[in-house]
Structure 1
């Protein structure tokens, strides 16, 4: 079958289009005929072996697919790897039935990025009505959904950051109250200004480096920063416990594989219901043939994309 494979670690150039044997399901596993695979920023880390879980070569990247099981059921599934292919093997417990009326784009947007946004706001940040929420990379896969969820759940002021006028306009369209340039030299001052001069209650951050450092400095007493990625590939400064005590702030991390099955089920149910009710929507970031996975990674790493990127293994 057709697949994208990595045989040496590196950037987008290591993604190769190859023919590989069809995967064979083991005990508790199901073969999925892939209609679309999702592309996530984590996939770029997986290809260069800088992800939280070490990669093993040879590797077929891809942690999420939507498609059909042998009995004809339409499902979306989380995978350890193997999604960039015509068929993939998934743990039966990781399959989520896709309701009628939910298209592939939404199903794939919700299984990783939507669930991430849901967990960050519900479990890490414990959003309360009226609180201010900063969403960094607000035009990205997680960001576009986080902006909408924050508004749907009663945030008082949603502050989006993004690197271009078009991305900031998208964040405003999705419900953000204000959108600021993510390249601002002093993010602490920028966030406080965007919040009417006050410190902010919640920051969702996947950037790292100085953006993280300056976002922590912008937190109000009892403010919370939820850290879930490092797109800049720059380490933030070590968090000093004394500083957290002095300012009554919280910094937490979140990695989706740690979410219990019951929590993931609750997140997906909630996201599907909100989608079908028209309260949130997935944002299309582009659909690529499987043979152009390298181009998808290049676009993602250049920060030129918005929303959710898909691969079509039938092309």
Structure 2
């Protein structure tokens, strides 16, 4: 079968098309004929070997696929690796049947970005009606869904940040009350101004570096910052526990695979996301489709922040 194989760690240049044997499902696994594979920031970290879990060479990247089983079931699933290929194997417990009303790209977005946004808002930050929510990278896969889900939860004010006017306009069209330039000179002050001079309640952050530092400084007492990535490749300044105590603020982190260890949680999340999407109350932004052979270009565009929404690969090309 055709796949992308990484034989050395590095940037997008290490994503090389190759012909490899078909995968063989073990007990408790299912074989999937891949119709589309999802592309994520986590994939770029995996290619560099800077992801949370270390990877051994050689490997086929890609953590999410949608397609059909030999029995004809249409499923979307997370996989440990192997998604950038024409066929993949997945654990039965990580596979979800996709409703007919949900297209492939949307299903891929929901199983990673949608579930991440849902969990950040409902389980990690525990957003309450009327609270203000800051969504960084609001035009991205997680951000574009988090804006909508925050409004659905009754957030009093959703403050989006994005790097271009077009991305900020998209965030506003999805329901954000304010959209700010992510590279503004004083992000802390800009976030406070967006809430009428008051501090914010919740921040969803996947950027790291100075964005995290300035967001933490903008938190109100009892405010929460939920950290789920470091796209800037720059770690934030370490925070002393005494500082959290002094300001009554919280910092939490989330890695999606841990949600699968909680019995019944992911099926509940996916059922709610599928229902909202099929009903038209949750809109997945389709960011672009690339041939599998051009996975390198997809990573280049993603890392250069030229994309919005959900990126997918077509293994037939």
TM-score category (smaller protein): over 0.9
1:70 is paired with a residue whose SS is: coil
Q: TM-score, normalised by structure 2?
A: 0.99
List structure 1 runs of 4+ shifted beyond 2 angstroms: none
Residue 149 of structure 2 is matched in structure 1 by 149
Residue 23 of structure 2 is matched in structure 1 by 23
CA distance in 2, matches of 1:268, 1:195: 32
Moved more, 96-105 or 34-43: 96-105
CA distance in 1, matches of 2:38, 2:155: 29
Matches within 5 A, 1:1-315: 1-259=1-259, 260-315=262-317
CA distance in 2, matches of 1:72, 1:137: 37
CA distance in 1, matches of 2:185, 2:208: 14
Report the alpha carbon displacement of residue 314 of structure 1 after superposing the two structures with TM.
Answer: 0.8
CA distance in 2, matches of 1:131, 1:189: 18
Change (3 A) 1:261 1:302: farther
Report the alpha carbon displacement of residue 221 of structure 1 after superposing the two structures with TM.
Answer: 0.6
Report the alpha carbon displacement of residue 58 of structure 1 after superposing the two structures with TM.
Answer: 0.5
CA distance in 2, matches of 1:251, 1:295: 34
CA distance in 1, matches of 2:108, 2:263: 17
Report the alpha carbon displacement of residue 2 of structure 1 after superposing the two structures with TM.
Answer: 0.2
CA distance in 1, matches of 2:57, 2:18: 14
Report the alpha carbon displacement of residue 279 of structure 1 after superposing the two structures with TM.
Answer: 1.0
CA distance in 2, matches of 1:162, 1:240: 29
Q: What CA deviation, in whole Å up to 9, does each residue of 1:198-225 have, x standing for no partner?
A: 1000000000001001100000010000
Report the alpha carbon displacement of residue 261 of structure 1 after superposing the two structures with TM.
Answer: 4.7
Report the alpha carbon displacement of residue 277 of structure 1 after superposing the two structures with TM.
Answer: 1.8
2:302 is paired with a residue whose SS is: helix
Q: What CA deviation, in whole Å up to 9, does each residue of 1:129-185 have, x standing for no partner?
A: 010000000000000000000011100000000000000000000000000000112
Aligned residue-pair number: 315
CA distance in 1, matches of 2:12, 2:272: 34
Q: TM-score, normalised by structure 1?
A: 0.99
Q: What CA deviation, in whole Å up to 9, does each residue of 1:250-292 have, x standing for no partner?
A: 1000000111252111111111111122111100100000000
CA RMSD of aligned residues (A): 0.6
CA distance in 1, matches of 2:305, 2:205: 15
Moved more, 272-281 or 162-171: 272-281
1:305 is paired with a residue whose SS is: coil
1:150 is paired with a residue whose SS is: helix
Q: What CA deviation, in whole Å up to 9, does each residue of 1:114-142 have, x standing for no partner?
A: 00000000011101001000000000000
Gaps of 5+ in 1: none
Moved more, 178-187 or 167-176: 178-187
CA distance in 1, matches of 2:57, 2:96: 28
2:264 is paired with a residue whose SS is: helix
Q: What CA deviation, in whole Å up to 9, does each residue of 1:219-249 have, x standing for no partner?
A: 0010000000000000101111111111111
CA distance in 2, matches of 1:285, 1:118: 20
1:147 is paired with a residue whose SS is: helix
Gaps of 5+ in 2: none
CA distance in 2, matches of 1:279, 1:145: 11
2:190 is paired with a residue whose SS is: helix
CA distance in 2, matches of 1:179, 1:270: 27
